[in-house]
Structure 1
Amino acid sequence: MHLPRTALSVTAAVIASTLGIVAYQHISDENPTPSSGRALVAQDTATEPPVRAPATPRATVQSRPELPAQLPGLGRRTLAQVPQNSRQVLLVTGAGKNSASAKVVLWQRVDGGWRPGTVWAAHNGYKGWTDEHYAGDLHSPIGVFGLTDAGGRLTDPGSKLPYHQSGAFYTNDVGLQGESLHGVFDYVIAINYNRLPGTSPMDGTKPMGDSRGGGIWIHVDHGGPTHACVSISKAHMKQLLLTLDPADHPVVVMGDAASLAR
């Protein structure tokens, strides 16, 4: 049967309308709100959580450690002997009054306080420490002494203190425990106990007399106790020579801990 052209048009319109209703019904079942594809996309986007930029970490501010206003471990009597203009203090602290072992720290005055260096192992007199040193008593003297002059068998490594290089800084003796003393005077710093400051460590002048001893130095360690000197490693001796500065009026404060705390 052939339908008139008008009937075909009407039939097509009805089919199209029916398909539109079905399509709308399908959309309505999934998402009843939007009326168009554009609205669907907009709503889907709106329901996604907002993307936030990662938080920038805050910079960590490290506070500078507060430096002690006074040299730790020193009592009023000892502190009174440290010159006011000294900005470098080599602190030699014995393990005990009768001990030949000690620790050495170079303190430097900066920013109104005292900054410590590295702790170094050291040796002192075989019988420990004394407030009144005499020649041959095998004790190191307790007190505060200037450090003004240096020298050694080896050439000057760059010392800021006046440096006297000489082959006379040598001994082939052995230590109190039989150890070799070869090289112990490669580098030395004179401790201004019973000596004239401003002269070579080899100068033998003793203002208090020969009986009170002298020739007490900081020198290279030989692995055992000394007669009265203070000894540290060769590397530390060289470092000390490069650091001590006459402009800072360096001194050594030396003795057992209990005596220095007085």
Structure 2
Amino acid sequence: MVVAAAACGVLLTSCASGNDDGSQKGDAGAGHGKSAGRGDGAQGGESANAGTDDPRRIPEVGDRLQSRIPKDSRQVVAVYGAGEDSAKSTVVLYTKSGDKDTTWEKARSWPAHNGKKGWTTDHRENDKRSPVGVFTLTDAGGVLADPGAKFPYSESVSMQAPHYWPKTHWHDFDYVIAIDYNRAKGTPPNDPTRPQGQAKGGSIWLHMDHGSGTSGCVSLSKAGVKHLLRTLDPKQHPVIVMGDRANLRA
């Protein structure tokens, strides 16, 4: 399925931007929904279980988000944001091995970036922040041919980043994994459907990194995205847990 390039152009602006100085004027909802504490991971009131070494839990994730990880999930992509207003983060893949294994093991990790203005618990269109939460992963695609993804993969030139963006951004969407935030599952990543409405934003993806913050997506190396595409398996019910460390621990 190929979504019209014109529609895709609108969607891509929600995922990455040609201006990375974080100083755009008129950004809708900038800073909206930020948590009361700063993102240093040391606020009072954090979950008592967030920092434990319990192998049955995803590390540094408190009860609120831990409880949203489906019981049948055996693959979790955790995105640990450096701070509430920081564009830097780390992506870690956790897996369970064996049919009856209840413990999580760290499989791989990569340096990454998130929204150039940080994180929010109430994402809005064009706020330049990544949404905090637990989201399923069901669909993938990109400009390049399928590298061996286990997800349904939609190859389409309509995902090409506009060439009026800086050249460093042109390959951002060579490979992408759609994060199921305000989107219709079972559709290509650039499908324009937004069940919660346009104001809640959308087109939040895992995609290739250009060395700085995004407009809401999570970006990592090309090798990292390809590894996730070849590893994440719909039969293992993969999800992504993402946010700054303070919100993750809450």
Report the TM-score, using the length of structure 1 for normalisation: 0.72
Contact 1:172 1:180 in 2 (8 A): no
Moved over 6 A (4+): none
Report the count of equivalent residues. Answer: 195
* 1:102 is the counterpart of 2:92: no
SS of equivalent to 1:96: coil
Contact 1:135 1:214 in 2 (8 A): yes
- The equivalent of 2:178 in structure 1 is 190
* 1:159 is the counterpart of 2:149: yes
Aligned residue runs from structure 1 range 75-154, under 5 A: 75-110=62-97, 111-154=101-144
Q: CA deviation at 1:180?
A: 2.4
- From the CA coordinates, give the structure whose radius of gyration is larger: 1
Unaligned runs of 5+ in 1: 1-65
The alignment yields a C-alpha RMSD, in angstroms, of 1.5
2:56 is aligned, of 65, 69, 92, to 69
Aligned residue runs from structure 1 range 1-262, under 5 A: 68-110=55-97, 111-173=101-163, 180-262=168-250
SS of equivalent to 2:78: strand
Distance 1:103 1:258 in 2: 14
Question: What code does the residue aligned with 2:153 have?
Answer: Y
The superposition leaves residues 3-49 of structure 1 with CA deviations (integer Å, 9 ceiling, x where unpaired) of xxxxxxxxxxxxxxxxxxxxxxxxxxxxxxxxxxxxxxxxxxxxxxx
Q: Give the share of equivalent positions with the same residue, in percent.
A: 50
Unaligned runs of 5+ in 2: 1-52
Distance 1:243 1:171 in 2: 25
Q: CA deviation at 1:179?
A: 6.0
The superposition leaves residues 55-92 of structure 1 with CA deviations (integer Å, 9 ceiling, x where unpaired) of xxxxxxxxxxx981211111010111111111100000
SS of equivalent to 1:81: coil
Question: What code does the residue aligned with 2:72 have?
Answer: N
Question: What code does the residue aligned with 1:182 have?
Answer: W
Q: CA deviation at 1:192?
A: 0.3
Contact 1:174 1:181 in 2 (8 A): no
Question: What code does the residue aligned with 2:109 have?
Answer: V
Distance 1:67 1:165 in 2: 40
SS of equivalent to 2:108: coil
Distance 2:130 2:189 in 1: 17
Contact 2:94 2:108 in 1 (8 A): no
Question: What code does the residue aligned with 2:121 have?
Answer: D
